[in-house]
Amino acid sequence: MAGENVETISFRPSDLVCSEEIRIVLKDNKIESLEFVGGCPGNLIGIARLVRGMDPDSVIRLLSGIRCGGKPTSCPDQLAAALRLWKRKQK
C-alpha cells in the first residue's frame, strides 16, 4: 500500500536472558508484529500481543528496567533496548 513505512528489526539480546533473538516489524511507527526466538513462550507471546499496535516510545517507557530474578535485565527490557537502538540509528 502506498505511503506505508515498514521496517524490520532483528536484535540479539544480552546473553543474560533466555531469548536468542528479537524480531520486530514496525509499520508506520507502530509495532506490527513481534517475535522472540527462545525464552519463555507463554510470557513472550503475551508480551508480543500486548505491544502490537503500540509506538516504540510507549513500549520503551513501559518495559525499560524490568529485571528477571537477580539478573540486571530481562526479555522485556531487551525489547526496550532493541527499540532504543533502532531509534538511535534513525537519527
CB contact set of 61 (below 8 Å; sequence gap of 6+): none
Express each pLDDT in 68-78 by its tens digit.
999 999 999 99
Express each pLDDT in 29-57 by its tens digit.
999 999 999 999 999 999 999 999 999 99
- In 16-73, DSSP assigns E strands to 19-27, 30-38
Classify burial at 53, counting beta carbons within 10 Å of its beta carbon; exposed 0-12, middle 13-18, buried 19 or more: exposed
Distance CA 81, CA 14 (A): 10
**pTM for the whole structure:** 0.94
Is 2 a residue whose pLDDT tops 70? no
Q: Locate cell 511507527: which residue?
A: 29
Average pLDDT over residues 13-21: 96
Domains of the chain and CATH, by start = 6-90 (3.90.1010.10)
CB contact set of 36 (below 8 Å; sequence gap of 6+): 19, 21, 22, 23, 44, 47, 48, 75, 79
pLDDT at 1 (0 to 100): 53
